[in-house]
Chains A and B, each alone.
Chain A
Amino acid sequence: MKSLQQKTLLRKLLLRHRSNNRLWAALIALCIGTTLLLLSVLIWWNFREILSGRGSNDSLGGTFLTVGKKVTNEKMGRPEMTLFTPQEIDAMQGAPQVQDVGVLVSNRFPVWATLNTTVAFSTEMFLEAVPDRFIDNRPVDWIWTPGNRTVPIIVSSEFLNLYNYGFALSQGLPQLSQASIQSLAFDLKIGRGQLEETYSARVVGFSDRITSVLVPQTFVDYGNKLFTGRETFPPSRLILKVKDPSDKLFINYLETRDYTTNAEQLRWSKLRTVVDAVASATGLLAILLMGIGTLVFILFIELTIARAQESMALLMQLGYSPRYLGRFMLRRFLPLMLAALALAMWLVMIAQYMAADKLKKMNLTLPHVPGWQVWAALGVSALVLIAFVSRAITRTIK
């Protein structure tokens, strides 16, 4: 006689009543539910990824903020009230979302910039310095030591825009490209009278992050000490590295202390609320859909078992244990469930790949592969699904 496998016999007894249409419907429902669930986690994760400033996303201004104290009518004429005390700087280190704090040190000595070209040009100006770790796209020659005759300068790209689109157009002056500015050499005169010193200065870069004219910290410290005799001054502005500037706790922290920041950065807060709402709504709908998918799948399994009830009962009379039969049923349906989940994950990976490509054109860097949170969501939904289905099988086979 031909040899027969036990599982072949059991399949013949227990699964011959299976309706393939219902099975497909259940699997599709499960797949759509899981895809939506994973997509909602993906949306939330991507937004978080942009805000936390991994990759080059900090050029959005999302992760670096300059903070000052609001100048009110009471504080006018009392500059000491807009300066940060060491205690306030320490407190800022511990503020929600804040990862790093740096001080913006400004010059306490007169500075004149003079351009010696065919058109003589001279203006008074200010300088500021920040610790090097806060500078985006730091140039290799960003260094100054006492004795150096050349001072590198980084200008806010905002200033160039103001000049090109505001000042130059209205005054009939030529508009300037970044490259043309970098090729200009001008003189920097600091101090007055006997102590006056002249340096050659050159713009070596532009910053999207800090709205100021920056020179190396050593230069400002040197000038301040030379002309005032003091080494340190309390700063009027701080630069913060912030994990998520849209966090409500962080915004509250700034508001309660009357600190101001680039309002532009905080629009993320509103966007965050919208994205949160969208992700929550999608998530809720997805959980609902996945619940329905799971329910349809469980009903399908229960129906299959109910239709094979007579065979099931006789198998148990012959000595087959309910646990063994339950495992047999689970093993039949588990690969199908996992395939539906794998398909959902595959769709989500494609979505992530396409999103990353599209956002790259907008200068936003996102990973091409979803993060662990999305994989964790997949793992948790798989575990919940397996738990529900095994429970349903155990309860049905008695």
Chain B
Amino acid sequence: MRLSLEKLIPVPLKDRINEYNSWIWNQELVFNSGERISIQAPSGTGKTTLIHFLYGLRKDYEGRIYWSAFNMSAINAEQLSQIRASYVSVIFQDMRLFPELTAWENLEVKRRLTNTVSEYDAEKWIERLGLKDKLDRPARTLSYGEQQRVAIVRALLQPFEWLIMDEPFSHLDHANRQRAIALIREVADHHRAGIILADLEDNDFFTYSRKLLL
């Protein structure tokens, strides 16, 4: 699945776009399947806005975003849900777990949607990230770091061709970050999936094919 951005300009940032030299806003870009892209985005440049555009959560932009032939500004709700369930997975900066469900239930809500990952794998992955003992706890009682790890595993419990991440390790210490990176790399390799990681700083979490400045 190829991702194309054509002269993308967020309406709220329209007046400020020309103040800095963005490699993404108002550019023509094509990301081929399997690419690993790092987007370095200093605060206020619209990092989360871009992730929301790519994932179809917001449409207040000019220009066009295409996932293969799907134009994200004209896509219908059913097609969008199909893309989200089977082609593009996401790790939100604000995690977005169901606070009233336990950690395990949060994972099961995603896993049961497509049933493409076994219960055994899901348990093994969460164990690798050190959360085996926290599975029965409601998500709202988990620390940010724990919630972030649940959100990471949840994003892997579906088939995907692209994994979009918005500051996915912001709440993790070095050891947990390395474990999470290893898991993501392993699963993404298995799916031969592309990665788009947006972060405030330059990083070498993955071996990137391109590094872009927002």
Q: A: which residues have CB within 8 A of B?
A: 1, 3-6, 9-10, 12-13, 16, 311, 314-324, 398
Do residues B81 and A9 form an inter-chain contact, with CB atoms below 8 A? no
Binary per-residue interface labels of chain B (86-108) against chain A in the complex, 1 for a CB within 8 Å, 0 otherwise: 10001000001010110011001
Contact mask for chain B residues 27-63; partner A; CB cutoff 8 A; 1 contact, 0 none:
0000000000000000000000000000101000000
**In whole angstroms, what is the CA distance A321 to B71 when docked?**
18
B57 and A314 form a contact (CB under 8 A): no
A398 and B77 form a contact (CB under 8 A) = yes
A16 CB → nearest B CB, Å: 8
B173 close to chain A: CB less than 8 A: no
For residue B119, which residues in chain A have a CB less than 8 angstroms away from its CB? 1, 3
Contact A9–B57 (Cβ < 8 Å): no
CA of A190 to CA of B132 in the docked complex: distance in angstroms? Answer: 114
Q: Given the complex, which residues of A lie within 8 Å of B109, measured CB to CB?
A: 6, 9-10, 13, 315, 318
Min CB distance B14 to A, Å, is 26
Tell me which residues across on chain A come within 8 A of B100, comparing CB atoms: 12-13, 16
**Known: A311-B98, A321-B82. Is A4-B77 also a contact (CB below 8 A)?**
no
- Determine how close the nearest CB of chain B comes to the CB of A327; give it in whole angstroms: 12
Asked whether A322 lies within 8 Å of B96 as measured between CB atoms, the reply is no
B210: A residues at CB distance < 8 A? none
Q: List 6 A-B contacts (CB under 8 A).
A: A1-B135, A311-B98, A317-B90, A317-B96, A322-B77, A322-B78
| Complex CA–CA separation, A29 to B158 (angstroms) | 44
Interchain CB contact under 8 A, B101 and A12: yes
- Determine the residue in chain B with the shortest Cβ distance to A318: B110
B172 within 8 A of A: no
Query: Are the C-beta atoms of B123 and A1 separated by less than 8 Å?
Result: yes
Q: Is A318 touching B84 in the complex (CB atoms < 8 A)? A: yes
Binding site for A on B (CB under 8 A): 55, 57, 77-78, 81-82, 84-86, 90, 96, 98, 100-101, 104-105, 108-110, 112-114, 119, 123, 135, 154, 158
Q: Select which of B96, B105, B113, B135 is within 8 A of A319 by beta carbon.
A: B113
A317 near B78 with CB under 8 A, answer no
A150 to B135, CA, bound (A): 103
Of chain A, the residue at the smallest CB distance from B56 is A317
List residues of chain A with CB within 8 A of the CB of B105.
4, 9, 12
Q: Which residues of A contact B90 (CB under 8 A)?
A: 317
Query: Which A residues touch B81, using CB under 8 A?
Result: 316, 319-322, 324
State how many angstroms separate the Cβ of B172 from the closest Cβ of chain A.
Answer: 22
Q: Which single residue of chain A is at the shortest CB-CB distance from B83?
A: A319
Taking CB atoms, residues of chain A closer than 8 Å to B135 are: 1
A319:B112 contact, CB within 8 angstroms? no
Q: List residues of chain B with CB within 8 A of the CB of A321.
A: 77-78, 81-82, 85
Shortest beta-carbon distance from A381 to chain B in Å: 30
With both beta carbons as reference points, the residue of chain A lying nearest to B115 in the complex is identified as A6
User: Contact between A317 and B110 (Cβ–Cβ < 8 Å)?
Assistant: no
Sample of 12 more A-B contacts, CB < 8 Å, known A4-B105, A4-B108: A5-B112, A9-B112, A12-B101, A13-B101, A314-B98, A316-B81, A317-B96, A318-B110, A319-B84, A319-B85, A319-B114, A319-B158
Which of A16, A318, A322, A398 has the most B CB atoms < 10 Å from its CB?
A: A318
Minimum distance in angstroms from A314 CB to a CB of chain B: 6
Counting from the closest, the 4 A-B pairs by CB-CB distance are A319-B85, A321-B81, A319-B84, A6-B112
The residue in chain B whose Cβ has the minimal distance to the Cβ of A316 is B81
Nearest CB on A from B204, distance (A): 29
CB distance from B171 to the nearest CB of A (A): 19
Q: How far does the alpha carbon of A6 sit from the alpha carbon of B43 in the complex, in Å?
A: 39
Provide the bound-state CA to CA distance between A116 and B125, in Å: 116
- Tell me whether B112 and A4 are in contact (CB under 8 A): yes
Q: Is the CB of B108 within 8 A of A9?
A: yes
Q: Which residue of A lies closest to B89 (CB)?
A: A319
A13 touches B98 (CB 8 A): yes
Specify which chain A residues have a CB less than 8 angstroms from the CB of B96 in the assembled complex. 314, 317
Kindly report which residue of chain B lies nearest to residue A311, judged by CB atoms.
B98
| Docked CA distance A238–B48 (Å) | 92
- In the complex the two chains form, what is the Cα distance from A317 to B123 in whole Å? 23
CA distance A314 to B94 in the complex (A): 12
Q: Which residue of A1, A311, A317, A318 contacts B104 across the interface (Cβ within 8 Å)?
A: A1
A9 contacts B101, CB within 8 Å? Answer: yes
* B85 CB to nearest A CB, Å: 3
Using CB atoms, name the residue of chain A closest to B85.
A319
Determine how close the nearest CB of chain A comes to the CB of B111; give it in whole angstroms. 9
